[in-house]
Structure 1
Amino acid sequence: MPKRRLSERQIERIKAIQERRRERLASRPESALAEIDAETEPEAGRVVVRHGANLAVEGANGHLFHCLSRQNIGHPVCGDRVVWQRIADDQGVVTAIQPRATVLSRPDFNGHDKALAANLTRLLVLIAPEPEPSGYLIDQYLVAAALIGIDAVIVGNKMDLLQGEARRAFEQRFAHYPAIGYRTFWTSLREPETLAELTASMAGETSVLVGQSGVGKSSLVKALLPDREIQIGRLSKATGLGRHTTSATTCYRLPNDGFLIDSPGVRSFRLGAIDRDALQQGFREFQPYLGRCRFADCRHRHEPDCAILDAVARGLIHPQRLANFQHLLGN
């Protein structure tokens, strides 16, 4: 049966209805603000879940509150430290976002940076024997960490898939990363003792796990958070999101005073537009040689007297790292 075509008048009417709905949704925080008692004191909190207009804010005492956000303050994201005010026992309105120490973003479909999480201190880059690791993707993550000023750690997961010489060969493929200062852990959920050092290293940090699909990210999150289901229950109750809580970027408490941000938005990741100088800063082993090329605008391809190419020839920079730099730089 063919679909009925709508007249222009009907289309305009539908658009008007949708616009009124959007305006009502946008006005909810402002209406809530009008209900705030003049004597209600502003409080400090941390956004631990954001799903659309709904926020779960953890107060200073660890209690969770379902909050909306005031329109003119920007877009709070998971990890943001905020100022909020109560409108009911377990409800409130976020009235300000505190300055962010760091922010992890990725470009949206229009090429504009979209914040995913704030106030991170560490990026955990997951790789595994299967699927085949992408050194190019690893270097994108490492550059992103460098540009936002946070530590980056490489975690080789699912290592029980390899034995003996095959395992040693796999680790050797990525040996140039610890050689230039990136801490590296080799873990397996079937070998719980291999998780102990990684867990200890996350104490006091706010970490986010990133990596391509299939590297065991979800399973590792569950292993690092033995009380995850309890935390999800608290968050679901606070926000009323139910099953949607696990599909939203969420900040979990670790047993060792650390935090772990789990974000579906970093499963596929790409850097936005980045110029040569900024990109070079993301390759830490390039630093001793920058400014020593013959040409100030050297792209480290075939130029004569290139200090970076010379360092590669002398074994001081891994050739794959230079290849990934050139790939990221483009033409």
Structure 2
Amino acid sequence: MSGRKLTRQQQWRIDKVQNERNERAQRKDRKVDNSLEEGLLTEPHAGLVTAHFGRQVEVEALDGHLQGQRQRCHVRANVESLVTGDYVSWRPHQTPEENGVVESRQPRRSLLARPDMRGVMKAIAANVDQLLLVIAPEPEPHANLIDRYLVAAEHTDIEPILVINKWDLMQEPQRLTAAQQSHINGLLETYRQLGYRVLITSAYQQQDLQQLQDNLRDRISVFVGQSGVGKSSLINHLLPGVDLRVGSLSEDTRKGRHTTTTAKLFHFPQGGQLIDSPGIREFSLGYLQPEDVAQGFMEFRPFLGLCRFRDCRHQQDPGCALKQAVEEGKIATTRFASYHHIVQSLQPE
């Protein structure tokens, strides 16, 4: 089915907005060129994008006498889109209060992205080594949301680590029922058996924080997960002085309130970097095909391609190798149900 045809007036408005954006970008580039001619911009340096603000980014100098210092920068119009974690070539402004300029972006090792409200893929962070998926007893963790993140990580070659935070709540029977505790312990055991690393943490237990620090050392990590699971609280304890804003849970829904609005990079004192990303309650995988989703479930892979029919949908199809593996206990029923839930969400309404 073809897309809806735009009216002449709608197309005129779109062209007008685009032209205005191009003109603004060209004016900024001309201003940069003037600053360069006047000697206000220094020689090119290696830099790291530590935060993103529309057409401006915050860049940290990685070499020279400015090493470690940060400055807001204009991004030249011909530079591809940037995200936190990108390595760039940039020119600092001699006046720290003025903007420097990013002239080029270095190749990326990895890119973490998620669809926005319109289903368009939006990059979150670049050059990430590991994805720390933070969950907590409150808000209640759901296997399907966890699996969405794990599938996304599998398809970006970013190692996932499951971090269960606020573990102290598990010791408070007035907060969690026995059924809730059993549900959480069952979830963790499922992922441990699959081979995923699982860390138990609490911002109030130094031993737990030390274990988390050991897994962050000398690696570039991104924290993801629902709002309210304590990502910002963990970072505040791991990096004293950062003081990220911490949100409380809604008394009505027991869901978190969004407190982080842009991905920001922090240096870990013992080596490595942390990227704190905006909390999201849902993680759509609409950009993947059903067969891609199946590949994202690691325990499915030995059975893929063994079904009787090539177009097997892994439901009630006769001779389904995945269904047989579930019946034999080789695939958890919860994971199989999660797979179908994700695939169904890919279907157009």
TM-score bucket (shorter structure): 0.7 to 0.9
CA contact (8 A) 1:280 1:286 kept: yes
Contact 2:260/2:277 (CA < 8 Å) preserved in 1?
no
Q: Which runs of 5+ in 2 are unaligned?
A: 1-11, 245-258
User: Which 5+ residue runs of structure 1 have no aligned equivalent?
Assistant: 1-11, 231-244
RMSD between aligned residues: 2.8
Q: Does 1:109 align with 2:109?
A: no
Letter in 1 for 2:309: F
Q: Distance in 2 between matches of 1:116 and 1:292?
A: 36
Distance 1:135 1:289 in 2: 22
Cα separation, partners in 2 of 1:307 and 1:246, compared to 1, 3 Å: closer
2: CA distance, partners of 1:199 / 1:155: 12
Residue pair 2:51, 2:264 contacting (<8 A) in 1 also: yes
- The residue correspondences of 1:93-172 to structure 2 (distance < 5 A) are 93-163=101-171, 166=178, 167=181, 170-172=184-186
Is the CA contact 2:110–2:128 (under 8 Å) kept in the aligned structure 1? yes
Distance between the aligned counterparts of 2:21 and 2:325, measured in 1?
60
Change (3 A) 1:169 1:108: closer
Match of 1:35, SS state, is helix
C-alpha deviation, 1:53, in angstroms: 2.3
Partner of 2:314: 300
1:177 to 186, 191, 208: 191
Q: CA deviation at 1:95?
A: 0.9
User: For the residues of structure 2 that align with 1:133 and 1:17, how far apart are their CA atoms?
Assistant: 42
- Deviations 1:1-37 (CA, angstroms, capped at 9, x unpaired): xxxxxxxxxxx9xx98997688336632442134225
Residue 296 of structure 2 is aligned with which of 282, 291, 298? 282
Count of residue pairs brought into register by the alignment: 304
The aligned counterpart of 1:321 is 335
Q: Deviations over 1:214-268 (max 9, x none)?
A: 21222112112123149xxxxxxxxxxxxxx964321000122111111216454
Q: What CA distance in whole angstroms lies between the structure 2 residues aligned with 1:125 and 1:32?
A: 40
Q: Which of 45, 48, 64 does residue 46 from structure 1 map onto?
A: 48
Contact 1:107 1:114 (8 Å CA) reproduced? yes
Higher alpha-carbon deviation: 41-50 or 158-167: 158-167
Change (3 A) 1:17 1:272: closer
Greater helix content: 1
Q: For 2:78, what is the secondary structure of its paired residue?
A: helix
Distance 2:150 2:331 in 1: 16
SS of aligned partner of 2:323:
helix
211, 217, 226: which one aligns with 1:197: 211
Q: Which amino acid aligns with 2:343?
A: L
Q: 1:182 to 1:145 in 2, by over 3 A?
A: same
Q: Secondary structure at the match of 2:286?
A: coil
Q: Residues of 2 paired with 1:80 and 1:163: CA distance?
A: 41
**Structure 1 267/117 Cα, relative in aligned 2: closer, same or farther at 3 Å?**
farther
Which residue is 1:237 aligned to? none
Q: Provide Cα deviations, 1:111-134, integer angstroms capped at 9, x if missing partner.
A: 221112111111111111111111
TM-score computed with the length of structure 1 as normaliser:
0.83
Distance 1:55 1:299 in 2: 45
Equivalent residues of 1:113, 1:272 under 8 A apart: no
TM-score (norm 2): 0.79
1:250 aligns with 2:264: yes
- Of structures 1 and 2, the one with the larger relative CO (CA 8 A, separation 6+) is 1
Query: What is the percentage of aligned positions where both structures have the same residue?
Result: 41
Question: Aligned residue for 1:32?
Answer: 32
